[in-house]
């Protein structure tokens, strides 16, 4: 694994990113202490998976464990014939202006 200080990474970011793109990992250090690791994305990792992983790391989302039961996908969608949900949404948007 390649090591780079923050200052080295700033000065040669393109070089280090090229190494990561080629499959290497780069350990970033600050005053000799590891603070981050830059790793290549897996080839089959989609943009959605990357974004979800970022949200999870930031504490804004949590990945599910397991699969949803088949009944979930077969359930009828809820309806709002009176338009109460839409009215509430419009009201909230108008209040924020």
Range of the domain at 88: 2-96
Mean pLDDT, residues 78-84 taken together:
89
* CATH number, residue 88: 3.40.1620.10
SS3 for 23? coil
Does residue 5 contact residue 30 with C-beta atoms inside 8 Å?
yes
Q: What is the pLDDT of residues 6-15, one digit of tens each?
A: 999 999 999 9
Sign of CA dihedral 81, 82, 88, 91: positive
* Band of pLDDT at residue 77, cut at 50, 70 and 90: confident
The answer to whether 34 and 27 are in contact (CB under 8 A) is yes
User: Residue 30: its pLDDT value, please?
Assistant: 97
Q: Per-residue pLDDT averaged across 81-88, rounded?
A: 91
Give the Å distances, CA to CA, from 34 to 26, 38, 72, 74, 91.
Answer: 10, 11, 44, 49, 49
pLDDT of the residue at 28: 97
């Amino acid at each position: 694994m390649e090591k780079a200080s923050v200052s080295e990474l700033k000065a040669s970011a393109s070089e280090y990113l090229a190494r990561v793109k080629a499959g290497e990992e780069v350990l970033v250090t600050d005053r000799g202490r590891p603070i981050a690791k830059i790793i290549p994305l897996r080839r089959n990792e989609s943009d959605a998976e990357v974004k979800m992983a970022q949200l999870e790391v930031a504490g804004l989302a949590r990945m599910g464990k397991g699969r949803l039961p088949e009944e979930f996908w077969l359930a009828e969608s809820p309806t709002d014939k009176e338009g109460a949900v839409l009215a509430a949404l419009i009201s909230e948007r108008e209040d924020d202006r």
